[in-house]
Chain A
Amino acid sequence: MLVFILRRLAQSAVVVVAMSVLVFAGIFAIGNPIDVLISPEADEFERAAAIARLGLDKPMHEQFLRFVDSALGGDLGTSFVHGVPALGLVLQRFPATLELALCAMLVAVALGIPLGLWAGLKPDSLAGRVIMTGSILGFSLPTFWVGMMLIMAFAVTLGWLPAGGRGETASLFGVQWSFLTADGLAHLILPAVNLALFKLSLVIRLARAGTREVALQDYVKFARAKGLAPARIVGVHILKNIMIPVVTVLGLELGSVIAFSVVTESVFAWPGMGKLLIDSILQLDRPVVIAYLLVTVLLFVVINLIVDLVYSLLDPRIRLGGGRA
């Protein structure tokens, strides 16, 4: 197990290094770093000072070392628009996005697994077909449009739920969360459902395919031959086996949910880091874009690492086999 963790850590480190090289190359080699790092409104004198300060006149490898050095120190530049460190700005918006993404995942799992199980156990029933058609639609519908239609239906026409924003928040561990207040929860429902839609379709498909496969296994028949109740067979014997692929894929998808929250946050004016990214892109606030990118890369790597560890906990064959090749 220790060897396994160490090996995965090493792999993650390689990806982080590779990505920071790519980001560096993107800013310094492809784009013009002066445009990226210095505000377009700066005058000639400020420009010269900034170039010297940032070491943009130095050779490439020296610049890279400086970039890495300041990035490790948490310095990713200062926002042109807000005048505060870019990294701090991104991190400050992170909890809102995380909250939204986790809620979306929760919705996707809480609805997707039962629906997928049902569709898998009774593939030819009317309900099974309806569920599958729904999941195909879920894949085809563009997220932002669904979001707008949700607002139209539930906020504008019916007036049940608020159309945007985070609502009232409460503090936990020094961070503001929406899910702790009733008003915040009401604000959370629509965006979470919107963001969940795509993953919900995915979970349904995975759960259905898994169920269909597992239900035919001898060990399910053996479980029936032992006289177990259907609830136990479906809830333990089948569910635990289909959870492995679902958890793996979902874990890997958490990153993409966080990335996709860019869209949902824009539709619902949710003040997370995705909204920050879009605002920054539109306002040419590039240090913030870079900070977002690096934070996201790091997040992806950490998520992949955690998924692998959880995966090994769920599947005894891997846990005790001493890791994968």
Chain B
Amino acid sequence: MTEPLLRVDGLKTHFLTRAGTVKAVDGVDLRLDRGEILGLVGESGSGKSVTGQSILGLVDPPGRVVGGRVLFQGEDLVGAGEKRLRAIRGRRIAMIFQDPMMTLNPVLSIGTQMVEAVRAHEAVSRAEAWERSRRALARVGIASPDERLASYPHQFSGGMRQRVAIAIALLHSPDLIIADEPTTALDVTIQAQILFEVQKLCHETGTALIWVTHDLAVVSALADRVAVMYAGRVVETGTVAEIIGAPRHPYTRGLLESVPSRNRRGVPLRSIPGMTPSVLDLPEGCAFRPRCDRPTAACTTMPELAGERDDRAWRCWNPVAAEVRGDAA
């Protein structure tokens, strides 16, 4: 087996607050090959965004990575110094955030924010950096880029700002882009355009992508593989077809059944009973147990992430049978 582009082993990110230790990420394992698109799925509070930020060491205090490894091309980023991380951020691993209204600095022009991103990693002239920025904007489908570079963020719509953020992420042709719900704040039509373009650009450049989202529909349209997170842990992972077609973890199945689908017309949508548990006081054992419709005595201890292959696994003592989906409910 070849060394994957990224391997996350037992990553733990905790927030040490006055109210107690919040274990936002508590033992996450992921792997990603070159050019692969991974959908990281979960409800809000499941730790998926913190996972994305932990990979690049961007978690703000009181949050801290307290354990595990993030192996990027064999190099552990958890132990890496700030200087080394800075050399990787934006150049080898880029990031796109959720709210495009907030990710661009309101008092700096787009050109300034792009040129500085180019020059942070390459000693090129301002003019050269400007030219690179211009091409990057054109590549994400922004018309009259020269004019746009002189503009300020508030003159752009949300979709346009997110395109700018994507253009910035692509400036150095990184090996990996971590996109944290980048389309959630956008209109549905724009969401579709951006999804399509990101997929196309990643395939063109061979960039791998981690797409953090709560939306299984988005993932199914975009990703190669999926990892489902619940309460700070990955509960199931597999290819899109496996996750959508034959979910094994009851939580994944619950998620799928709460999404409307053409194939299940007439079947009432289900919702998962209960609420995402507070990460401040998780139940002993399997965190999903209180909401699960099939808990057993075994569930009071934490199941391991295990399954057919390394990349087809689930964290459940009595998984849903592979063929259940579709006829029950």
Q: A–B direct touch, CB within 8 Å, in complex? A: yes
A218 adjacent to B120 (CB under 8 Å): no
**Seed contacts A315-B107, A316-B107; 7 additional CB < 8 Å A-B pairs:** A218-B103, A222-B104, A225-B94, A226-B90, A227-B90, A227-B120, A228-B86
Judge if B152 is at the interface, Cβ distance under 8 Å: yes
Closest partner residue, chain A, to B154 (CB atom): A317
Judge if B34 is at the interface, Cβ distance under 8 Å: no
B107 adjacent to A226 (CB under 8 Å): no
Q: With A232-B116, A241-B107, A316-B154 given, is the CB distance from A222 to B97 under 8 Å? A: yes
Q: How many A residues touch B, CB cutoff 8 Å?
A: 25
Q: With A221-B97, A316-B154 given, is the CB distance from A226 to B116 under 8 Å? A: yes
Q: Please, what's the 1-or-0 string for B88-110, where 1 marks a CB less than 8 Å from any CB in chain A?
A: 11110011011100111111110
B105 adjacent to A223 (CB under 8 Å): yes
Closest partner residue, chain A, to B103 (CB atom): A222
User: What's the Cα separation between A80 and B231 when bound, in Å?
Assistant: 83
Closest partner residue, chain B, to A239 (CB atom): B107
Q: Which of B56, B58, B107, B120 contacts A228 (CB 8 A)?
A: B120
Closest partner residue, chain A, to B155 (CB atom): A320
A218 adjacent to B117 (CB under 8 Å): no
Q: Please, what's the 1-or-0 string for A179-217, where 1 marks a CB less than 8 Å from any CB in chain B?
A: 000000000000000000000000000000000000011
Closest partner residue, chain B, to A228 (CB atom): B120
B165 adjacent to A226 (CB under 8 Å): no
Q: Which of B87, B102, B152, B154 contacts A217 (CB 8 A)?
A: B102
Residues of A at the B interface (CB closer than 8 Å) are 216-219, 221-229, 232, 236-237, 240-241, 244, 314-317, 320-321
Closest partner residue, chain B, to A124 (CB atom): B61
- A218, A237, A321 — most chain B CB neighbours (10 Å): A218
User: What's the Cα separation between A240 and B152 when bound, in Å?
Assistant: 14
B116 adjacent to A216 (CB under 8 Å): no
Query: Shortest Cβ distance from A240 into chain B, in angstroms?
Result: 5
Query: Shortest Cβ distance from B32 into chain A, in angstroms?
Result: 18
B58 adjacent to A316 (CB under 8 Å): no
Taking CB atoms, residues of chain A closer than 8 Å to B155 are: 320
What interface size band does chain B fall in?
A: 20 to 34
Judge if B168 is at the interface, Cβ distance under 8 Å: yes
Residues of B at the A interface (CB closer than 8 Å) are 53, 56, 58, 60, 86-91, 94-95, 97-99, 102-109, 116-117, 120-121, 152, 154-155, 165, 168
Name the prevailing secondary structure of the A interface residues: helix
Closest partner residue, chain B, to A314 (CB atom): B107
Taking CB atoms, residues of chain A closer than 8 Å to B94 are: 225-226
Q: List 20 A-B pairs, Cβ < 8 Å.
A: A216-B60, A218-B103, A219-B105, A221-B53, A221-B60, A225-B94, A226-B94, A226-B117, A227-B89, A227-B120, A228-B86, A228-B116, A236-B116, A237-B105, A240-B107, A241-B105, A244-B107, A315-B107, A316-B109, A317-B106
Q: With A237-B105, A316-B107 given, is the CB distance from A225 to B120 under 8 Å? A: no
Q: Which of B56, B103, B117, B152 contacts A219 (CB 8 A)?
A: B103
Closest partner residue, chain A, to B88 (CB atom): A227
B102 adjacent to A219 (CB under 8 Å): yes
Query: Shortest Cβ distance from A317 into chain B, in angstroms?
Result: 5
Q: With A219-B103, A317-B152 given, is the CB distance from A227 to B87 under 8 Å? A: yes
- 10 cross-chain pairs, A with B, having the tightest CB-CB distances, nearest first: A227-B90, A218-B102, A227-B89, A225-B95, A226-B90, A316-B152, A222-B103, A219-B105, A226-B117, A227-B120
Closest partner residue, chain A, to B92 (CB atom): A227
Taking CB atoms, residues of chain A closer than 8 Å to B60 are: 216, 221
Closest partner residue, chain A, to B104 (CB atom): A219
Taking CB atoms, residues of chain A closer than 8 Å to B116 are: 226, 228, 232, 236
Taking CB atoms, residues of chain A closer than 8 Å to B53 are: 221
Closest partner residue, chain B, to A220 (CB atom): B105
User: What's the Cα separation between A314 and B58 when bound, in Å?
Assistant: 29
Closest partner residue, chain B, to A223 (CB atom): B105
A229 adjacent to B120 (CB under 8 Å): yes
Taking CB atoms, residues of chain B closer than 8 Å to A237 are: 105, 108
Taking CB atoms, residues of chain B closer than 8 Å to A227 are: 86-91, 117, 120-121
Q: With A217-B102, A218-B99, A218-B102 given, is the CB distance from A226 to B154 under 8 Å? A: no
Q: With A228-B117, A316-B152 given, is the CB distance from A222 to B165 under 8 Å? A: yes
User: What's the Cα separation between A216 and B99 when bound, in Å?
Assistant: 14
Query: Shortest Cβ distance from A241 into chain B, in angstroms?
Result: 6
User: What's the Cα separation between A240 and B106 when bound, in Å?
Assistant: 10
Taking CB atoms, residues of chain A closer than 8 Å to B98 are: 218
B89 adjacent to A225 (CB under 8 Å): yes
User: What's the Cα separation between A315 and B103 when bound, in Å?
Assistant: 17
Query: Shortest Cβ distance from A32 into chain B, in angstroms?
Result: 54
B95 adjacent to A222 (CB under 8 Å): yes
Closest partner residue, chain A, to B61 (CB atom): A124
Q: Which of B97, B121, B152 contacts A320 (CB 8 A)?
A: B152
User: What's the Cα separation between A225 and B88 when bound, in Å?
Assistant: 9
A226 adjacent to B152 (CB under 8 Å): no
User: What's the Cα separation between A236 and B106 when bound, in Å?
Assistant: 12
User: What's the Cα separation between A237 and B86 when bound, in Å?
Assistant: 16
Closest partner residue, chain B, to A238 (CB atom): B105
Taking CB atoms, residues of chain A closer than 8 Å to B89 are: 224-227
Taking CB atoms, residues of chain A closer than 8 Å to B104 are: 219, 222
User: What's the Cα separation between A145 and B87 when bound, in Å?
Assistant: 53
User: What's the Cα separation between A217 and B99 when bound, in Å?
Assistant: 11
Query: Shortest Cβ distance from A70 into chain B, in angstroms?
Result: 47
Taking CB atoms, residues of chain A closer than 8 Å to B91 are: 227
